[in-house]
Amino acid sequence: CVILYLFLACVLAVTNGERGSDGPAPPVMAGHTVIFFDSDSEFPAVRGFVAWVVHSLGLRMTAVASSNFKQGMADLVTSGLRAVVMGQRRGDPWADELDLFSPSTDGWPAFMRINPIIDWSYSHVWLFLRAFGLPYCSMYDEGFTSIGSISDTVKNPALLRADGSYAPAFELRDATTERAGRSSRRDKGAAKQPTQGAAAAVDEPSPVFARTVSASPCLRA
Protein backbone atom coordinates (compact mmCIF):
# COMPACT_ATOMS: atom_id res chain seq x y z
CA CYS A 1 0.00 0.00 0.00
CA VAL A 2 2.99 2.35 0.47
CA ILE A 3 3.55 2.57 -3.28
CA LEU A 4 -0.09 3.41 -3.93
CA TYR A 5 -0.03 6.19 -1.32
CA LEU A 6 3.13 7.67 -2.81
CA PHE A 7 1.63 7.44 -6.29
CA LEU A 8 -1.54 9.15 -5.06
CA ALA A 9 0.51 11.97 -3.51
CA CYS A 10 2.36 12.50 -6.79
CA VAL A 11 -0.87 12.57 -8.82
CA LEU A 12 -2.40 15.00 -6.35
CA ALA A 13 0.63 17.29 -6.55
CA VAL A 14 0.52 17.29 -10.36
CA THR A 15 -3.23 17.84 -10.62
CA ASN A 16 -3.18 20.60 -8.02
CA GLY A 17 -0.44 22.34 -9.98
CA GLU A 18 -2.41 22.04 -13.22
CA ARG A 19 -5.73 23.34 -11.88
CA GLY A 20 -4.29 26.19 -9.80
CA SER A 21 -5.59 27.38 -6.48
CA ASP A 22 -9.02 28.38 -7.79
CA GLY A 23 -9.89 25.26 -9.76
CA PRO A 24 -12.14 22.45 -8.51
CA ALA A 25 -10.46 19.56 -6.73
CA PRO A 26 -10.32 16.54 -9.10
CA PRO A 27 -11.05 12.91 -8.11
CA VAL A 28 -7.38 12.09 -7.61
CA MET A 29 -7.25 8.36 -8.36
CA ALA A 30 -10.59 7.72 -10.03
CA GLY A 31 -10.20 5.75 -13.24
CA HIS A 32 -6.59 4.70 -12.71
CA THR A 33 -5.77 1.03 -13.15
CA VAL A 34 -4.03 -1.07 -10.52
CA ILE A 35 -2.58 -4.55 -10.96
CA PHE A 36 -3.28 -7.19 -8.32
CA PHE A 37 -1.24 -10.40 -8.43
CA ASP A 38 -3.86 -12.89 -7.29
CA SER A 39 -3.50 -16.35 -5.78
CA ASP A 40 -5.87 -19.15 -4.82
CA SER A 41 -4.21 -19.15 -1.38
CA GLU A 42 -4.57 -15.41 -0.74
CA PHE A 43 -5.52 -14.39 2.80
CA PRO A 44 -9.14 -13.16 3.04
CA ALA A 45 -7.90 -10.10 4.95
CA VAL A 46 -5.61 -9.19 2.05
CA ARG A 47 -8.43 -9.59 -0.46
CA GLY A 48 -10.68 -7.49 1.75
CA PHE A 49 -8.14 -4.71 2.08
CA VAL A 50 -7.46 -4.66 -1.65
CA ALA A 51 -11.19 -4.53 -2.41
CA TRP A 52 -11.66 -1.68 0.07
CA VAL A 53 -8.79 0.33 -1.45
CA VAL A 54 -10.05 -0.19 -5.00
CA HIS A 55 -13.59 0.82 -4.06
CA SER A 56 -12.58 3.77 -1.86
CA LEU A 57 -10.38 5.34 -4.51
CA GLY A 58 -12.53 4.47 -7.52
CA LEU A 59 -9.77 2.42 -9.13
CA ARG A 60 -9.94 -0.11 -11.92
CA MET A 61 -8.25 -3.38 -10.98
CA THR A 62 -6.61 -5.90 -13.28
CA ALA A 63 -5.99 -9.25 -11.58
CA VAL A 64 -3.09 -11.41 -12.74
CA ALA A 65 -3.15 -15.02 -11.54
CA SER A 66 0.08 -16.04 -9.85
CA SER A 67 -0.21 -19.48 -11.46
CA ASN A 68 0.20 -17.85 -14.88
CA PHE A 69 2.14 -14.78 -13.89
CA LYS A 70 4.45 -14.59 -16.89
CA GLN A 71 1.61 -14.85 -19.40
CA GLY A 72 -0.40 -12.31 -17.43
CA MET A 73 2.43 -9.81 -17.69
CA ALA A 74 2.81 -10.59 -21.40
CA ASP A 75 -0.88 -9.79 -21.93
CA LEU A 76 -0.50 -6.47 -20.08
CA VAL A 77 2.56 -5.52 -22.12
CA THR A 78 0.70 -6.38 -25.33
CA SER A 79 -2.10 -4.08 -24.14
CA GLY A 80 0.37 -1.22 -23.80
CA LEU A 81 1.90 -1.46 -20.34
CA ARG A 82 5.49 -0.21 -20.36
CA ALA A 83 6.41 0.20 -16.69
CA VAL A 84 5.36 -1.14 -13.31
CA VAL A 85 5.90 0.76 -10.08
CA MET A 86 6.75 -1.73 -7.37
CA GLY A 87 7.34 -1.84 -3.63
CA GLN A 88 10.46 -3.97 -3.50
CA ARG A 89 13.21 -3.19 -1.01
CA ARG A 90 16.82 -4.36 -0.68
CA GLY A 91 15.90 -6.87 1.99
CA ASP A 92 13.47 -8.71 -0.29
CA PRO A 93 14.60 -11.96 -1.96
CA TRP A 94 16.46 -11.40 -5.23
CA ALA A 95 16.21 -7.63 -4.89
CA ASP A 96 19.86 -6.93 -4.06
CA GLU A 97 20.79 -6.12 -7.66
CA LEU A 98 17.74 -4.01 -8.46
CA ASP A 99 18.03 -0.27 -8.93
CA LEU A 100 15.49 2.54 -9.03
CA PHE A 101 14.90 1.61 -12.66
CA SER A 102 15.49 -2.02 -13.64
CA PRO A 103 14.36 -3.69 -16.89
CA SER A 104 12.46 -6.94 -16.55
CA THR A 105 14.55 -10.12 -16.43
CA ASP A 106 15.74 -11.70 -19.70
CA GLY A 107 13.13 -14.07 -21.06
CA TRP A 108 10.25 -12.09 -19.58
CA PRO A 109 7.98 -9.55 -21.33
CA ALA A 110 9.85 -6.27 -21.75
CA PHE A 111 8.85 -3.56 -19.30
CA MET A 112 10.56 -1.27 -16.84
CA ARG A 113 10.44 -2.01 -13.12
CA ILE A 114 10.35 1.21 -11.11
CA ASN A 115 11.37 0.79 -7.47
CA PRO A 116 10.91 4.10 -5.60
CA ILE A 117 11.39 2.60 -2.12
CA ILE A 118 14.22 0.21 -3.00
CA ASP A 119 16.44 1.85 -0.36
CA TRP A 120 13.78 2.16 2.34
CA SER A 121 14.26 0.16 5.50
CA TYR A 122 11.58 -1.73 7.39
CA SER A 123 11.35 1.13 9.89
CA HIS A 124 10.96 3.67 7.05
CA VAL A 125 7.83 1.86 5.88
CA TRP A 126 6.19 1.95 9.29
CA LEU A 127 7.30 5.49 10.04
CA PHE A 128 5.63 6.61 6.79
CA LEU A 129 2.37 4.74 7.40
CA ARG A 130 1.99 5.74 11.04
CA ALA A 131 3.18 9.33 10.74
CA PHE A 132 0.45 10.04 8.19
CA GLY A 133 -2.18 7.75 9.74
CA LEU A 134 -2.52 5.71 6.54
CA PRO A 135 -4.60 2.51 6.50
CA TYR A 136 -2.98 -0.88 5.98
CA CYS A 137 -4.02 -4.53 6.10
CA SER A 138 -5.24 -5.53 9.57
CA MET A 139 -2.98 -8.61 9.59
CA TYR A 140 -0.02 -6.36 10.40
CA ASP A 141 -1.67 -5.58 13.73
CA GLU A 142 -1.98 -9.29 14.49
CA GLY A 143 1.70 -10.26 14.45
CA PHE A 144 2.39 -10.64 10.73
CA THR A 145 5.36 -8.71 9.32
CA SER A 146 5.63 -10.19 5.81
CA ILE A 147 2.55 -11.55 4.08
CA GLY A 148 2.68 -14.10 1.28
CA SER A 149 0.17 -16.91 0.78
CA ILE A 150 -1.72 -18.90 3.39
CA SER A 151 0.59 -21.87 2.82
CA ASP A 152 3.86 -20.06 3.57
CA THR A 153 2.99 -17.31 6.07
CA VAL A 154 2.62 -17.38 9.85
CA LYS A 155 2.84 -14.75 12.55
CA ASN A 156 6.36 -13.56 13.27
CA PRO A 157 7.70 -15.42 16.33
CA ALA A 158 9.82 -12.38 17.16
CA LEU A 159 6.59 -10.56 18.07
CA LEU A 160 5.29 -13.23 20.42
CA ARG A 161 4.50 -11.78 23.86
CA ALA A 162 4.79 -13.56 27.20
CA ASP A 163 1.00 -13.86 27.45
CA GLY A 164 0.79 -15.66 24.10
CA SER A 165 -0.49 -12.69 22.10
CA TYR A 166 1.43 -11.00 19.30
CA ALA A 167 2.64 -7.42 19.05
CA PRO A 168 1.84 -5.42 15.88
CA ALA A 169 4.34 -5.36 13.04
CA PHE A 170 5.53 -1.82 13.74
CA GLU A 171 6.91 -2.97 17.10
CA LEU A 172 9.44 -5.34 15.51
CA ARG A 173 12.84 -4.29 16.84
CA ASP A 174 15.15 -6.38 14.66
CA ALA A 175 14.39 -5.67 10.99
CA THR A 176 16.49 -8.66 9.93
CA THR A 177 13.69 -10.88 11.27
CA GLU A 178 11.03 -9.26 9.06
CA ARG A 179 10.56 -12.50 7.09
CA ALA A 180 10.81 -14.84 10.09
CA GLY A 181 7.16 -15.76 9.57
CA ARG A 182 7.74 -16.89 5.98
CA SER A 183 8.77 -20.44 5.10
CA SER A 184 12.34 -21.08 3.94
CA ARG A 185 11.02 -22.79 0.81
CA ARG A 186 9.39 -19.53 -0.22
CA ASP A 187 12.55 -17.56 0.46
CA LYS A 188 14.74 -20.00 -1.49
CA GLY A 189 12.61 -20.58 -4.53
CA ALA A 190 8.93 -19.87 -4.68
CA ALA A 191 9.32 -16.15 -4.12
CA LYS A 192 11.51 -15.73 -7.15
CA GLN A 193 8.69 -15.71 -9.69
CA PRO A 194 6.91 -12.53 -8.48
CA THR A 195 10.24 -10.78 -8.16
CA GLN A 196 10.87 -11.26 -11.87
CA GLY A 197 8.32 -8.68 -12.83
CA ALA A 198 5.96 -7.61 -10.14
CA ALA A 199 5.53 -6.00 -6.90
CA ALA A 200 6.63 -7.43 -4.07
CA ALA A 201 3.62 -5.36 -3.15
CA VAL A 202 2.61 -4.89 -1.69
CA ASP A 203 4.09 -3.78 -0.57
CA GLU A 204 2.62 -2.75 -2.71
CA PRO A 205 -0.08 -2.32 -4.67
CA SER A 206 -0.09 -0.54 -10.32
CA PRO A 207 -2.16 2.39 -11.44
CA VAL A 208 -1.66 3.53 -15.00
CA PHE A 209 0.04 6.89 -14.63
CA ALA A 210 -1.82 9.91 -16.00
CA ARG A 211 -4.49 7.56 -17.41
CA THR A 212 -2.15 6.24 -20.06
CA VAL A 213 -1.04 2.64 -20.33
CA SER A 214 2.54 3.42 -19.41
CA ALA A 215 3.41 3.07 -15.75
CA SER A 216 1.50 1.13 -13.13
CA PRO A 217 2.15 0.66 -9.33
CA CYS A 218 1.17 -2.78 -8.02
CA LEU A 219 -1.54 -3.20 -5.42
CA ARG A 220 -0.69 -5.13 -2.31
CA ALA A 221 -1.57 -4.99 1.34
Most confident of the ranges 47-56, 65-74, 135-144 = 135-144
Quote the pTM value. 0.77
Q: Quick: pLDDT tens for 128-182.
A: 999 999 999 999 999 999 999 999 999 999 999 999 999 999 999 999 999 999 9
Measured torsion, CA atoms of residues 33, 123, 121, 1, in degrees rounded to the nearest 10: -10
Please tell me the predicted confidence (pLDDT) of residue 177.
95
Mean pLDDT across the chain: 80
Q: What is the pLDDT of residue 29?
A: 59
Please report the pLDDT score of residue 191 as a whole number: 35
- The rounded distance, in Å, linking the Cα atoms of 195 and 174 is 24
> What is the arithmetic mean of pLDDT over 29-52?
86
Tell me: pLDDT of 195 over 80.
Answer: no
Which range, 32-36, 41-45, 54-58, 201-205, is most confident? 41-45
